[in-house]
A = this chain, B = another copy of it.
Amino acid sequence: MYIPLINHIEKFISLDENETQLLRDALQFKTLKKKENLLHAGQICHHQYFIIKGCCRNFIINDKGNEQTTQFGIENWWLSDFLSYHNERPSDFYIQAIENSEIIAIEKIDMEDLLVKVPKLERYFRLVLQKAFGASQMRIKYLYTQSAEERYHFFNDSFPEFTQRIPQYMLASYLDFSPEFLSKIRAGKV
């Protein structure tokens, strides 16, 4: 059940038998029902989560009480509140399954221990974070330069597999506009 993660890691570095075993020992496997939370706002985020199967999201609840999705994750993607994790401060985010999902959780204390025993993995996580941070720079670029309609079409063209899986109101909030406006874009009434 840990194979997808091991495969993902081996795209970046190679592990021997012993290292793979140490890795396995640090991991926890979880199955999640749709809408089940991995993290609740107010909690310290003690884990990083790797999605084996399914689809999850990060979201916040804004001042008006609406959920605002800030990030999606599907297979082979890591999710966490990295600042809460890093500083061990309460999070503002929820992490929630959008579909029934299977995920791997690694707890910070086990992660730190694992990284001492298998320092090669520092490289893997550095590379994952480098890509993620780079993607986040691009995301800010698109938020700053594209109109709502452009962001919608760009997202659909870039990630067609997502559009099928996530409710529109979540996509609207991720793209930073209202669900009503998304309806209008789709109907060509903009």
Contacts and interface: CB of A to CB of B under 8 A. Distances in A.
A144 interface: yes
A162 interface: no
A27 interface: no
A53 to B, nearest CB: 24
A123 interface: yes
Interface in A115-142: 115, 119-120, 122-123, 125-127, 129-141
Contact of A68 (B70, B93, B139, B144): B144
Given A68-B145, A141-B60, A119 B123 contact: yes
Interface string A138-165: 1111011100000000000000000000
Count of identical protomers in the assembly: 2
Contact of A143 (B92, B173, B176): B176
B176 A145 contact: no
A62 B145 contact: yes
A30 interface: no
A133 B126 CA distance: 11
Given A60-B144, A92-B138, 20 more contacts: A58-B137, A60-B141, A63-B145, A68-B144, A70-B140, A70-B144, A85-B130, A86-B127, A86-B131, A86-B134, A119-B122, A122-B122, A122-B123, A122-B126, A126-B126, A126-B129, A129-B129, A136-B140, A140-B143, A143-B143
Interface of A: 58, 60, 62-63, 68, 70-71, 81-87, 92-93, 115, 119-120, 122-123, 125-127, 129-141, 143-145, 173, 176
24 contacts: A58-B137, A62-B145, A63-B145, A68-B145, A70-B140, A71-B137, A81-B134, A81-B137, A83-B131, A83-B134, A83-B135, A85-B130, A86-B130, A92-B138, A93-B137, A119-B122, A119-B123, A122-B122, A122-B126, A129-B130, A133-B133, A140-B140, A144-B173, A144-B176
